[in-house]
Amino acid sequence: MSQQLCYPHLLTRHLGNKNLFLFRSICTIFAPMKKLLAKLSNPDILLATLLGIWLIINILQGIFTELTNREAYYWFTAVQRGLQTGYFDHPPMLGVLVWLGVNLFGDTELGVRFFTILLQPIYLFLFWQVVRTPLSNWRSALTYLLTAFSIPLLQLYGWVATPDAPMMLATVLFLYCYKRFLADQSLLNTLYIALCTALLVYSEYQGVLVVGLVIASNYKLLFRWKVWVALGFALLLYTPHIVWQYEHDWVTFRHHLSGGSYEFSLGNLFNSFINLILTFNPIIFVPFTLFFVKLRFKSELWRAMQYMGIGFFVLFLLGSTRGYTQPQWAIPAVFTMLFIVTRAAERSVKFHRYILKQGMIIGTLWIAARVFAMCYAGYQIPLEIFGNKSKYTILADKMDGKPLIFDGDHTQASKYNFYTHSMAYSMPSIYKGSSEYEFMDFDETFGGMPAAVVVKQFILDTIARNNPYTRFELNENYVSFYDTVDSYIPLRRIVITYDGLPAKAIVKKPILLNINIMNPNKVPIELNKVSLVAFVKSDKGVYNEFTIAFARQMTVLPAGESISFSREIRIPGSVSTGRYEFSLSLQQPPAASWYNSKIKDIIITNPTAGKSR
């Protein structure tokens, strides 16, 4: 008897008819699993499956976690301002994503975040196509995924709506198209390079660095006419945003370049370096650095990855020596880390196992932390993603329908609006800066109405300490105070012109200023309820201010009219010797001021004091 006929006979004799039926049923059930395992041995299918699971986790996180401060502001700019070719402080691509998400899912956390959540698995899968080689297998794909999963920056920016999400996709598309362009410099691939370049800068301004570093890694590209065609076409595609900037007096660039000058700080450099390592995962960062030095790949793509890694790290650390930096500014260097770690693990079984172990441990900790954030979203934990809805609802109830004016705090105004659907506005502030609210005129609808003004502690310490305030504590990291005014006066659009300011001045010496104040609003201004304030700001960002009195007969500034007068002012003796910016502003305490006049440079001398700090 043949073996084929013997097997059923033997199985029947040893298992019995009943157990044989059970055995065949189990085989039938697990047969599809065998096919599935065979498919998952394909690295692309394995990675796509795991990224699908990651996408589900991020969607759940996006649903059950409250908005960060910046997300609420991005929601405001996209929904209240609508689709624009530019925004006050960020490029327009994120606005498109938020606008689309809100139109699909409404004014919800998922609506704000949906498309940024969707982009991460897409750009991680596309970058895998850049990283992989003919020798890459399922182990390589698993190393790649666990490396990405254990990097804090990718964990956070996988579900939070920021301009970094579209920039990451644009970076990967640019690298992918660059790889294709190196293999085939056709006009079609040239067009792809142009599209990706424009998309990069429409997503985040630092996208220019990606393009610049890649070109620097292969400078011979500059001698190829198709590269110039790509750059020219990209510039043409970017023209609408350039026109928007021109029409708005280059406001975005002025905003980002107005941080002031800071002296070199070794402490800032050290702290930024530590933060950089922590946000890139120190468990991987150290071996990544070693392999970065050790490994050698003879290809233009490898040089591009090298330049991107070194370039963003160095520029980030150099920036930290002059002031405040954020680790996500170096986020494109994540792709250099993924590239090197994946390639190194393909060459070292020991390192591959190391990545698997740390990935499972770090991944488990991340999942636990994210589940905690979802489950305790409504609790009063001192982080900006907790307790927003309940606290802002309480504040809205106290307002009893009165509009709320946040003094220079555009993110909190946006959050208040998002979670309560009540009237709120962020007044631009000399101390806190401006925002997209500068382009919005709905604060004028509050003119003459009772309103409440929210200010921070340091404002109380400078201009309005004698007013009664009510403490408002969102959490222990965000404490503000608010006071009610019987009749709110919109002062943002007031225009002040003046002359007579000398190029050099000595403290306490008289200066005669000729001042004109124009009121373009539809409501008159009672001058006894506002103050005319002069500001002198040092090049180190230190402010000094003093009040200029109105004449007694000057009581009202009618709507649509102006008043002119002369006043003798004296720079206070508290101002040190140095270079300053001088400006005039109207303010209605408890709110601070905004620049109602042009800023003029002045050199101030104080014979009895040192230089400005």
Residues 457-512: tens digit of each pLDDT: 656 555 544 556 676 666 555 666 777 778 888 888 889 999 988 999 898 898 99
Q: What percent of the chain has pLDDT over 70?
A: 85
Assign 496 to helix, strand or coil. Answer: strand
The answer on pLDDT for 7 being more than 50 is no
Give, rounded to a whole angstrom, the gap between the first and last alpha carbons of the chain.
Answer: 101
Q: How many CA atoms lie within 13 A of 531 on its CB side?
A: 17
Long-range contacts formed by 107-111: CB under 8 A, 24+ apart? 107/75, 107/79, 107/418, 107/421, 108/63, 109/62, 109/63, 109/64, 109/65, 109/66, 109/67, 110/59, 110/62, 110/63
The answer on pLDDT for 40 being more than 70 is no
Beta bridge partners of 312: none
Beta pairing class for 600-605 and 578-587: antiparallel
Give the pLDDT of residue 109. Answer: 95
- Cα–Cα distance between 275 and 294 in angstroms, integer? 25
Distances (CA, A) of 492 to 98, 437, 536, 588, 613: 28, 10, 19, 11, 29
Letter for the amino acid at 161? A
Letter for the amino acid at 106? G
Task: Give the sign of the dihedral formed by CA 132, CA 134, CA 136, CA 137.
Answer: positive
Q: How many CA atoms lie within 13 A of 289 on its CB side?
A: 8
Give the pLDDT of residue 10. Answer: 45
User: What count of other Cβ atoms lies within 10 Å of the Cβ of residue 473?
Assistant: 12
- Kindly report the pTM of this predicted structure: 0.86
Letter for the amino acid at 536? V
Report the side by side order of strands in the sheet with 543-548.
504-506, 600-605, 578-587, 531-538, 543-548
Domains and CATH numbers, the chain: 41-373 (no CATH), 388-485 (no CATH), 495-605 (2.70.50.60)
Q: pLDDT tens across 166-176, in order?
A: 999 999 999 99
Q: pLDDT tens across 239-288, in order?
A: 999 999 999 889 888 887 765 555 666 777 788 888 888 889 999 999 99
The answer on pLDDT for 23 being more than 50 is no
Give the pLDDT of residue 97. Answer: 96
The answer on pLDDT for 152 being more than 70 is yes
- Confidence label for 537 from pLDDT (cuts 50, 70 and 90): confident
The answer on pLDDT for 203 being more than 70 is yes
Name which of 569, 518, 572, 502 is nearest 543 in CA terms.
572
Give the pLDDT of residue 484. Answer: 78
Name which of 451, 456, 457 is nearest 484 in CA terms.
451
The answer on pLDDT for 111 being more than 90 is yes
134-148: average pLDDT? 90
Angle, helix 410-420 to helix 69-79, in steps of 10 degrees: 70
Give me the count of residues in the chain: 613
Lowest mean pLDDT among 44-58, 192-206, 365-379: 365-379
Q: Give the DSSP letter string of 361-398.
A: HHHHHHHHHHHHHHHTTTS--SSTTSSHHHHHHHHHHH
Give the pLDDT of residue 4. Answer: 44
| The pair of three-digit structure tokens given for residue 102, joined into one six-digit string | 């809100």
Give the pLDDT of residue 36. Answer: 52
> Which one has a higher pLDDT value, 408 or 252?
252
Give the pLDDT of residue 474. Answer: 60
- Considering the chain, what is the average pLDDT of its residues? 84
- Confidence label for 57 from pLDDT (cuts 50, 70 and 90): very high
445-452: average pLDDT? 81
Q: pLDDT tens across 544-586, in order?
A: 788 888 877 788 888 889 898 888 888 888 888 888 889 998 8
User: What count of other Cβ atoms lies within 10 Å of the Cβ of residue 404?
Assistant: 25
> Which one has a higher pLDDT value, 284 or 455?
284
CA 280 vs. chain centroid, Å, equals 17
